[in-house]
Amino acid sequence: MDTIERSEKEVLQGSLRGTVLLPQDADYEGARKIWNAMIDRRPAMIVRCAGAADVRTAVDFARERGLPLAVRGGGHNIAGSALVNDGLVIDLSGMRSVQVAPHRQRAWVEGGALLRDVDHETQAYGLATPLGINSTTGVGGLTLGGGFGWLTRKHGLAVDNLVSADIVTAGGERLHVDRDHYPDLFWAIRGGGGNFGVVTTFEFALHPVGPLVTAGLIVFPFGQARSLLRSYRDYVEALDDNVSVWAVLRGAPPLPFLPESVHGSGIVALAFFSPLPPDQVQDALDTVRSFGTPLGEHVGAVPYAAWQQAFDPLLVPPARNYWKSHNFNTLSDAAIDVVIDYAGRLPSTQSEIFLGLIGGAANTRAPEETAYPHRKALYAMNVHTRWDTPNEDAGCLAWAREFFKAAAPHAAGGVYINFLNEDEVDRIAEAYGPNYERLRQVKAQYDPNNLFRANQNIRPA
């Protein structure tokens, strides 16, 4: 073992409650693995932080020694920016505390928490905040990129419900930011990603939700996709904010309500969600059913926390993952035809194309109100390519990139920053749109030397 590394570790470890790992340590190999198995990086040092003081110490340590720095939250991280070769990783995955003040309808969430942690605590009081659609998603990364999910049409994006945050900056300052304190920095972290520091605590506004909601799947055969998606498009463009319907095109999983004969065959699944009870959305359910002849369905009253976990089995590690994404303000017939063409020749049994419905309350704000600018986007279309072995890489990557190129002429031009891969640096300005130059100015103020650059990076002005 290198004596310099050992001495550096001892210096840092003596200042922490958490743990420092070097490549020679027993837990290092497990600590450097992340959700996307395509990412294989070897940090020089991983700091498993136990609190905000540890984060500040680690930031100072990296800055003073000129070490490349990455920040790891608790979730998926498709781009792999949670790891950096030969540098220091600040690992927040042990910081998962969630504190709820039910009468104030507020929650304070540590930077390494998962959605399931928030749901567990807030649903004890029949409360929730708009986050994502998988309970294994990290709250930090999702929120810093904007954050949308089942509650977005009713209550807005995650950043629209962010009341304040505690952040450690590149200079080692610990700042509490909100609309009245460091408002420029508070604006920037609401969609600007991890470019401005390490958020150790998020404060969210909560809303009465659940514990029961109406949710489930209505599944149609792929042969009905064209007429079904056109009916779906026409329906959701005037949809009530209390209802959300996402469309997923993939091979049929072995769901118990589907005939065994269709398992593995092509389907279009419409995921229905409403915070209202079933009797209040029966007309909406009947309309969605009428788009075609379903193979089967399972929709009804379900605990909100359970619905948040319904798609978790589709994202279990380890697997190789590659995403390509477009925003759409509307779906033309030509766009639907492209989706159907490529969904008809998926490169693996785990791959899928989904249309995540946004709109509603998320689109009532001005583009410049938060760093997240896409306030006209009705859909975020994500091509989720997923497979198991390296020998499938070439075929899966080629399919995803070809589909992305074919869909581009029909898209709105923007993209959700959390869906970008590491090879899409050229799309970062596009992701921030009209807010990009202002973000560069804020970056220059709080991180002029670009210490926080292992991300979808905004270069200082």
> Phi and psi of 427, rounded to 5°?
-105, 0
* Run of H or E including 306: helix 304-308
CA 181, CA 353: separation in Å to the nearest integer? 41
Structure tokens at 183: 């408002």
Beta carbons of 165 and 192 less than 8 angstroms apart: no
The pLDDT tens digits for 305-338 are: 999 999 999 999 999 999 999 999 999 999 999 9
CA 51, CA 55: separation in Å to the nearest integer? 7
Amino acid symbol at 127: L
The pLDDT tens digits for 56-77 are: 999 999 999 999 999 999 899 9
Burial (CB count within 10 angstroms: exposed 0-12, middle 13-18, buried 19+), residue 159: buried
Of 22, 32, 79, whose CA–CA distance to 454 is shortest? Answer: 79
The pLDDT tens digits for 146-165 are: 999 999 999 999 999 999 99
> Phi and psi of 127, rounded to 5°?
-130, 160
The residue ranges of DSSP E strands in 366-439, in sequence order, are 379-387
CA 298, CA 319: separation in Å to the nearest integer? 28
Beta carbons of 167 and 198 less than 8 angstroms apart: yes
Instruction: Kindly tell me if the per-residue pLDDT of 2 is higher than 60.
Output: no
Give me the domains of the chain, ranges plus CATH numbers: 3-91 (3.30.43.10), 98-209 (3.30.465.10), 212-425 (3.40.462.20)
Three-state secondary structure call for residue 435? helix
Give the pLDDT mean for 359-373: 98
CA 415, CA 377: separation in Å to the nearest integer? 9
Three-state secondary structure call for residue 122? helix
CA 157, CA 210: separation in Å to the nearest integer? 18
Q: Residue 168: beta bridge partners?
A: 174, 198
The pLDDT tens digits for 156-209 are: 999 999 999 999 999 999 999 999 999 999 999 999 999 999 999 999 999 999
What predicted TM-score, i.e. pTM, was given to this entire model? 0.97
User: What is the model's pLDDT at position 192?
Assistant: 98
Average per-residue pLDDT in the chain?
97
User: What is the model's pLDDT at position 7?
Assistant: 85
The pLDDT tens digits for 238-250 are: 999 999 999 999 9
User: What is the model's pLDDT at position 5?
Assistant: 72
DSSP letter string over 248-300? EEEEPP--TTS-GGGTTSEEEEEEEEESS-GGGSHHHHHHHHTTS--SEEEEE
The pLDDT tens digits for 37-48 are: 999 999 999 999
User: What is the model's pLDDT at position 63?
Assistant: 97
Beta carbons of 59 and 90 less than 8 angstroms apart: yes
Give 6's pLDDT tier (boundaries 50, 70, 90).
confident
Tell which wins on pLDDT, 7 or 380.
380
The pLDDT tens digits for 272-304 are: 999 999 999 999 999 999 999 999 999 999 999
CA 285, CA 239: separation in Å to the nearest integer? 12
CA 134, CA 242: separation in Å to the nearest integer? 20
Give 105's pLDDT tier (boundaries 50, 70, 90).
very high
Give 4's pLDDT tier (boundaries 50, 70, 90).
very low
The pLDDT tens digits for 394-430 are: 999 999 999 999 999 999 999 999 999 999 999 999 9
Q: What percent of the chain has pLDDT over 70?
A: 99
